[in-house]
Structure 1
Amino acid sequence: MYPALVFTSLMCVLFQFDPIQAWVVWDHNAIANGQWWRIVTGNFSHTNLSHLAMNLTGLWVICFVFQPSRVRLLAYLFIISLFTGTGLLATDIQSYVGLSGTLHGLFGVFALTEALTGRRSSWLLVAGLVAKVAWEQFVGPSATTGALINARVAIEAHLIGALGGFLLAWVKVKRRI
């Protein structure tokens, strides 16, 4: 797991630098013009160092708590990033960066998998994620976090990522993968 975390963290840091960042940001128009890689890579770029630090801390904490294998972590990062980036195409968002949608999905897949396989206390984690995402959808994004990252918090990505994680957990448990 740790080599995958270090790799992902270094990739996120690398994606902060120009001219690389200009080529990896999730950009609706660029994707529509054939730059499909942005669907995934936009999740690994960030608005500023505070945004990067916050998301990487979340990634490391989620991995510390759930202890996924290296292969599972990398597979879930890719699948949930792809799901989130694709889902954002159905929104009004024109530009997006950040790992938070994918983090919501990672937390969702790990917590729901535990809950569905008998760890009853993990239903509290699932309920907490559902409550957090529902709150954001009804109340709106956090202005404080928005000020810290110098951008509007993309709560659409949080919702899409969480749904992707829940779907992945359900498929995983039903198919025993």
Structure 2
Amino acid sequence: MLKLLFPILVMLGFAQLTPVSDFFTWDRNLILQGEVWRLITGNFTHTNLAHLIMNAAALMVFCFIFKDILNPKKLWGLLLSISLMTGGLLLLSPIQSYVGLSGVLHGLFIWAAIEDIKQQRSTGWLLLVGVVAKIAWEQYFGASASTISLINANVAIEAHLIGACCGAILQLLYYFYTLSTASDAPK
């Protein structure tokens, strides 16, 4: 698992350095001016050390729980694709500036819950219901005051919703891909 996580954790730490984080932040105006890398990189920098630690811990929990279905290539592919999709879809929201991995984490957990369901594990349904309930709670009641205080910023609950949808979209795309390749197979 360390082999899986170490490069990502190093990158998250590197992204916290002030000149790097300024270059990485998801910023609507700068993206629209052509700095499209920010669609991905905004997910890898954070408001403060507590925010970084909270998201890094969630990523470690994710990798530990789903170590049997992850490898470095799959994890990087998921991180980058959910980051790009989330970063792009955030342009449809009112958010002007965004940092943090939490939207991507919600996408990873939804993707993994569906993966568990496909493998007929009952834990997949529990995880899916739990993440959906959390997102619904946030959309209706807003983020918790303690989290806002901890990260010293508003919680981008839109990113949580968008990230979760992106995890589900990746599963849907894979489903349709497997259907099309199965129908193309010689009979």
Cα RMSD after superposing both structures: 1.4
Asked whether the equivalents of residues 110 and 169 of structure 1 are also in contact (C-alpha less than 8 Å), the reply is no
- 1:12 aligned counterpart, secondary structure: helix
Aligned residue identity for 1:42? G
* Structure-2 separation of matches of 1:45 and 1:100: 11
Which portions of structure 1, spanning 4 or more consecutive aligned residues, are displaced by more than 3 angstroms?
173-177
TM-score (norm 1): 0.95
Q: Which runs of 5+ in 2 are unaligned?
A: 182-187
Structure-2 residue corresponding to 1:103: 105
Shift of 1:166: 1.2
Per the alignment, residue 72 of structure 2 pairs with 70
Tell me which amino acid in the other structure corresponds to 1:119. Answer: R
Q: How far does residue 174 in structure 1 lie from its aligned partner after superposition?
A: 4.4
**Alpha-carbon distance, 1:19 to partner:** 1.1
Matches for 1:39-50 after TM superposition, within 5 Å: 39-50=39-50
CA displacement at 1:154 relative to structure 2: 0.4
- Which one is further off, 161-170 or 88-97? 161-170
Looking at CA atoms only, which structure, 1 or 2, has the larger radius of gyration? Answer: 2
Does 73-82 or 10-19 show the bigger shift? 10-19
Q: Give the structure 1 partner of residue 185 of structure 2.
A: none
Counterpart of 1:61 in structure 2 is 61
Q: Which moved more, 1:95-104 or 1:116-125?
A: 116-125
* Deviation at residue 118 of structure 1 after TM alignment: 1.7
Q: CA deviation at 1:27?
A: 0.4
CA contact (8 A) 1:113 1:173 kept: no
For residues 122-151 of structure 1, what are the alpha-carbon distances to aligned partners after superposition, in whole Å with 9 as ceiling and x for unaligned? 111101111110110011111110100000
SS at match of 1:121: helix
Give the distance between the partners of 1:69 and 1:173, measured in 2 at CA: 20
Q: Matches of 2:38 and 2:123 in 1, distance apart?
A: 37
Instruction: Write the distance in 2 (CA, Å) between the matches of 1:133 and 1:80.
Output: 17
The yes-or-no answer on 1:149 pairing with 2:182 is no
Partner Cα separation in structure 2 for residue 120 and residue 171 of structure 1 = 23
Residue 121 of structure 2 aligns to a residue in which SS?
A: coil
Query: What secondary structure, in the 3-state scheme, does the structure 2 residue paired with 1:168 have?
Result: helix
Equivalent residues, number: 177
Query: Any conservation in 2 of the 1:87–1:160 contact (CA below 8 Å)?
Result: yes
Partner of 2:27: 27
Residues 80-139 of structure 1 deviation map (CA, whole Å, 9 limit, x = unaligned): 001111111011111000000000001110111111332233111101111110110011
Contact in 2 for aligned 1:39/1:81 (Cα 8 Å): yes
Q: Distance in 2 between matches of 1:100 and 1:121?
A: 21
Which residue of the partner structure matches residue 51 of structure 1?
Answer: 51
Moved more, 45-54 or 2-11: 2-11
